[in-house]
Amino acid sequence: MGAGIVGAFGIYFLRYFLVSAVEGEVYAMSSFFNRFSFWAILKWEDRLTVANETHADRWVVFIFS
């Protein structure tokens, strides 16, 4: 219990941790959309090459919208 309290206060007073928390808050949504777009690209490639789906171009429209 004491180690947890000391660790919590240590993190609270570290400037680096506070700066990183603000960056994470600001860029989290951007990071999510980047990864989601990359996932959609992989899904499109899978549908195009492996499944040989005729309507795979719908994923391209989804990626660019």
> Domain coordinates of the chain in residue numbers?
2-64
pLDDT at 44: 86
Share of the chain above pLDDT 70, in %: 75
Total-model pTM = 0.55
b/e sequence 8-36, b meaning 16+ C-beta within 10 Å:
eeeeeeeeeeeeeeeeeeeeeeeeeeeee
Over residues 11-34, the pLDDT tens digits come to 777 666 666 666 666 677 777 888
Task: Specify the residue for token string 């990626």.
Answer: 63
How far apart, in whole angstroms, are the C-alpha atoms of residue 17 and residue 13?
A: 8
Give the best-scoring range by mean pLDDT among 1-10, 14-23, 34-43, 48-57. 34-43
How far apart, in whole angstroms, are the C-alpha atoms of residue 30 and residue 36?
A: 10
Cα end-to-end span (Å), the chain: 50
